[in-house]
Chains A and B, each alone.
Chain A
Amino acid sequence: MLLLKIFLEFCKIGIIAFGGGNAIFPILHKEVVENLHWINEQDFLYMVSIAETTPGPIGMNLSTFIGHRLAGLPGALAATVGYCILPFFIMLFVAITVVKLKENKIYQRFLSAVMVVVLVLLMRAAYLMAAGGFHDFRPYLLSLVAFIIFMKFKKLNPIYLLIATGLIGMIVF
């Protein structure tokens, strides 16, 4: 049963993919390219480059892509659902627990410290996106403009801003 195998494999990958996105490349590579020989090296790199530049979470994109390569649309679904299902239930369980912990002193201390680390994680994410994708000063300039508009116009839907920067990108990059 190839579909079941794909599903279980991606269940495993979903659960060990801490930190999402980029963290899963080495894990997927080891499993899918080195251990299972489902995808060859060159195709894997190609898929990573597509997954990084298309909408959607990178890990999910890669799962869909690999699943599709192995078994068409059913494969894509098996891989993607497998990738999401355990994190979904873990998150759900945590959500149910955390909603009850609201007044707990230890949880508050835990959360307030984690929020500080998350600030650094956000900075890191912005840095990695810029460092990985921006090849000259123009995208940086566009980012700066987007930053200022985002901060100034509180009512603006950020999606319109993204559409605008996308269109500007088509013209000036």
Chain B
Amino acid sequence: MKTKNSFKVILELFSIFFYVAIFTVGGGIAMVPVLERVLVEKKKYLNKEEFTEIFSIAQILPGSLMINMATFTGYKIIGFWGALFSCIAISIPPITIITLIAIFYGKFIEFALIKKLILGILAGVVGEVSGITLKMFKKTKFDTFKISLLLISFALMFVFHVNPIYVVIIGALSGVLLGRGY
């Protein structure tokens, strides 16, 4: 990052997070595939491991995934100002859009075509999130412990409907006690 001056980097982060936020439909998770491709593969600001780390930590802390990811990414790349401006960037689209809707009292969200557009984007998001899951899955070096943890977490969340935060805590503790690291 030394070759570019930091103002430029902050500006670039701002614009990335701004347009990513516009396309975040169905919750913060929608931004993950987009960010991975832009930050890791195109701009090479982060490597794959760093991105997975950011995503994992952001996911398990309180607060919206998007705010957490923007803060962590921004900080990791360029420090405090990167974190702050990335956060401001992702806040602008939702604030603008919701304020407009609040003023017009949802007249245009009732509009059938908009609903179809949003559903189409959501379908795309589901496809992309599945893709990024598969990519992360392939990259994980599975040992006996990780396979057991994967199966147990899956059962807890999908079969027993345990609150994900407890599954994260159980997983983290068992990892510290029994895991082997990467």
B124 CB, min distance to chain A CBs, angstroms: 3
CA distance A122 to B131 in the complex (A): 10
> Contact flags (1/0) for A149-162 with B, using CB distance below 8 Å?
11100111111011
Known: A92-B83, A106-B176, A139-B122. A87 touches B19 (CB 8 A): no
The interface residues of chain B lying within 8 Å CB-to-CB of A168 are 120
Query: Size band of the A side of the interface?
Result: 35 or more
B41 interfacial by beta-carbon distance below 8 Å: yes
Residues of A within 8 A of B62 (CB): 14-18, 86-87, 90
Query: In the complex, are the beta carbons of B125 and A162 less than 8 A apart?
Result: yes
Evaluate contact between B34 and A158: CB separation under 8 angstroms.
Answer: yes
B9 CB within 8 Å of chain A: no
Chain B, residues 26-61, CB within 8 Å of chain A (1/0): the string is 111100111001100110000000001101111111
Cα-based distance from A109 to B21 in the complex (angstroms):
32
Residue A95 is within 8 A (CB to CB) of chain B in the complex: yes
Query: Which single member of B23, B125, B130, B167 contacts A120 (CB below 8 Å)?
Result: B167
CA distance A61 to B102 in the complex (A): 11
Partner of A88, one of B83, B95, B109, B179: B83
Given A116-B146, A116-B171, A167 and B117 contact (CB-CB distance below 8 Å): yes
| Docked pose: A160 CA to B23 CA in angstroms | 10
Q: How far is the CB of B27 from chain A (nearest CB, A)?
A: 4
